[in-house]
Amino acid sequence: VLDFVDVRGQEAVKRAITIASAGAHNLLMIGPPGTGKTMLAQRIPGILPPLSRGESLETTRIYSALGLLPDGIALMDERPVRTPHHSATAQALIGGGTIPKPGEVSLAHHGILFLDELPEFSRYVLEMLRQPLEGGEVTIARAHGSIKFPANFMLVAATNPTASGYAAADNRARDKYLGKLSGPLLDRIDIHVEVPAVAYRDLTSKAAGTDSATMRKSVDRARESQRKRFNGAITNAGMDSRLLKQHCDLDDSCLLLMKQAMDELGLSARAYDKVRRVARTIADIDGSEKIREQHLAEAVQYRLLDRRF
């Protein structure tokens, strides 16, 4: 079994992954090749809770309809993980065809969609992702009407900072490469985190880093809070404006911090809501009823790319 303890250093990234997994938040990792982005992504399924009975039935139905159910398995109990290549067409990713079939986003329903080298996907395909990221389903339009497929997945994406893979001396190369990711798409990704080159001391350190079992405990604690809060219907990432109002109330000091962050980072209204959802998850990991200033401050840190554009 893959364990996070195998990944040297990157403790800050492991923290971001714990939060993302705890609230089913979309995650984007940015860093040069060889920093462990893929290794980290591969270990995320190991800290997620198993599918609930309802989720299992929904996921099984999709795989069964496409004839993709593994031999001897009547019901899927593990969360699906899909890793389409960046050359994937819109039809392969989103679904479609003369007789409409679900695409990768639906095969990742209740699981993980891992998109490596995110800016290498076609701009059109990336823009098509906005609908399922926002609504948890895709609509395939046809002359005689439209058909809906479920697509409620956790997006885990990775990118190099520039086309060459390495950080540039000036920001132009980075801005040009990451500029392929539109503002509205980045708004829909809750957590942006930098995966730096591993420091030599971390590579040679005898101390063990955070392992999957420790991360899983935090995830389980937060998920339990969400189960009670929403009767198992959704996770924090799925809160609509009504639920945000109800469960992400900010006191005066938090509101002041939020106003400063919005002014400095130029956060959109959608990004503002993402920050509150992530702060709610951090509070759940802490076992805190209320969102406190430190929870909000940490959530704001994860709007990395909002500062860049």
Q: Residues 257-281: pLDDT tens digits? A: 999 988 888 888 888 999 999 999 9
What's the whole-number mean pLDDT along residues 16-34?
Answer: 96
Please say if the pLDDT value at position 284 is more than 60: yes
58-63: which pairs have CB atoms within 8 A and are 24 or more residues apart?
58/109, 58/110, 58/150, 59/109, 59/110, 59/111, 62/102, 62/106, 62/107, 62/109, 62/149, 62/150, 63/107
Going by pLDDT thresholds of 50, 70 and 90, the confidence category of residue 137 is very high
pLDDT of residue 225: 97
Boundaries of every domain in the chain = 4-204, 212-306
Asked whether 17 and 215 are in contact (CB, 8 A), the reply is yes
CATH node for 4-204: 3.40.50.300
pLDDT of residue 308: 54
Percentage of the chain modeled with pLDDT above 70: 96
H-type helices in 24-129, by residue range? 37-43, 53-65, 90-94, 104-107, 123-128
pLDDT of residue 309: 46
pLDDT of residue 183: 87
pTM of the prediction? 0.93
pLDDT of residue 207: 75
